[in-house]
Amino acid sequence: MAKADAWGAPGGIALERRETRRDGLAGNTRLIAQPAYKRLLAAEPLLRRSIPALIIIFLVVVAALRVLSLMNERDEVERDARAILALAAGQLARSVSTNPADTSQDVLETIGRQGALGRSHVLAVTDSAFKIIAVSPQSTPWHGRSLDGLVQGGQPLFMFGDRAGVMEVSIDGRDWYAAVSLSGDRKGAAAALVPQDAVFETWRKTVSLNVTLFVLTAGVLIVILYAYFGQAARAQAADRIYLEAHQRIDMALVRGRCGLWDWDMVRGKMYWSRSMYDMLGYQPCDTMLSFGEVDEIIHPDDGDLFQLANRIVAREIDHIDQVFRMRHADGQWVWMRARAQVIDPEAPEIQLIGIAVDVTEQRHLALRSEAA
């Protein structure tokens, strides 16, 4: 009985103190992590409801940034196109002024190459009446036509030349950018033109690519959001089913005066169901009990838990069916019958699972019958 008397205070306190470690944290870790974890649990419903709003805000911000970026890119493309036209028209006008008799196609093509003009750019040289006398490329059917009659909405170009800058004009119902440079003696003019749709062709492809990527990104996020809420709903349903089943099992174990226990032989830890704590009068906890804590409340005359564990580890036995006494929290002895089986005898890590039934009444009845 020395073991039982020695256990009386220390052993019970050891089990009861485990109540303060239900969250599985200890020491400084518990002090630091537990408040943050509780706040996270409290904020979890709000965070879950805010996810759709956050995704929408994210998509709106991304769309706004891309729109601003694309508009800036469009402005840069337009500025570059205007600058190229102004330079090409001025260079062509200087060439015409230097060599008035030389208005051949070779001059136009040379200036086009030097100005890095594309196939859609048109260079034209006119006389003092703005009649086109040379044009590049040659496929452009403007030769011999009046440039001021061909261009709609560009009268300032023919009046002020370079000072009018690059203007948006219309030619045959199509929008163009045009620049006109007058010769010094006003006996001729040079013009550089390009269709607006040709200027922004690459930019429109970029816009199309960005729109496609944005739609795909939004679609993927929506699918992920749907999957997340579907998974969250299934997880909540599974948790609810598990909790209900666990409560039913606990209630059945409590009503039947029995408890479930799981013994991890390798780590030296044992899990008790809530009904085990209720039968012995201790505070339930979710952490694992050690060999020493369980062995302290077993009657010393009813066997040694360590000796039993050594036999199981040595593969001498693979099951347990034993009656023994365990100390109740109020100091009384409770007769328990434990039955357990090794889950997988071939596994390298031995683990037992079984039940313990309170047979105190049956034991007392048998003793009274024997005494009678």
Tell me the pLDDT tens digit for each residue of 20-62. 343 444 444 444 455 666 676 677 778 778 888 888 999 999 9
Q: What angle do CA 270, 276, 278 make, to 5 degrees?
A: 140
Q: What is the mean pLDDT of residues 96-124?
A: 71
In whole angstroms, how far apart are CA 315 and each of 90, 201, 261? 100, 80, 20
Judgement on whether residues 191 and 314 belong to the same structural domain of the protein? no
To which H or E segment does residue 140 belong? none
Structural domain contains residue 191: yes
Residue 192 sits in the same domain as residue 283: no
Is the pLDDT reported for residue 245 higher than 90? no
- Domain CATH for 308: 3.30.450.20
Intra-chain end-to-end CA distance of the chain, in Å: 27
Residue 135 lies in a domain: yes
User: With contact defined as beta carbons under 8 Å apart, do 262 and 352 qualify?
Assistant: yes
Q: Is the pLDDT of residue 314 over 90?
A: no
Task: Answer whether the bond into residue 10 is a cis peptide, omega within 30°.
Answer: no
> Which residue range is the domain that position 190 belongs to?
59-203
Mean pLDDT score, 62-78: 94
Global pTM value? 0.57
Question: Which stretch of 76-85, 223-232, 310-319 has the lowest confidence by average pLDDT?
Answer: 310-319
Sequential DSSP letters for 269-305 = EEEE-HHHHHHHTPPP-SSPEEHHHHHHTB-GGG--H
Q: How many domains are contained in the chain? A: 2
Mean pLDDT across the chain: 80
My answer on whether 187 and 70 are in the same domain is yes
Q: Is residue 21 situated within a structural domain?
A: no
**Is-contact 131 147, C-beta < 8 A?**
yes
Q: How far apart are CA 30 and CA 21, in angstroms?
A: 9
Q: Which of 288, 268, 262 lies closest to 353, judged by CA?
A: 262
What tens digit of pLDDT does each residue of 339-363 get?
Answer: 888 888 777 788 888 888 888 888 8
Closest CA to 252 of 355, 325, 322, 332: 355
Instruction: Say what the pLDDT of residue 266 is.
Output: 78
* Residue pair 277/287 in contact by the 8 Å Cβ criterion: no
Query: Do 164 and 275 fall into the same domain?
Result: no
Pick from 70, 63, 92: nearest CA to 162: 92
CA 305 to each of CA 207, 293, 301: distance values in angstroms, whole numbers, following the listed order: 75, 11, 11
The string of pLDDT tens digits covering residues 129-169 is: 888 888 888 777 888 889 888 899 888 988 888 888 999 99
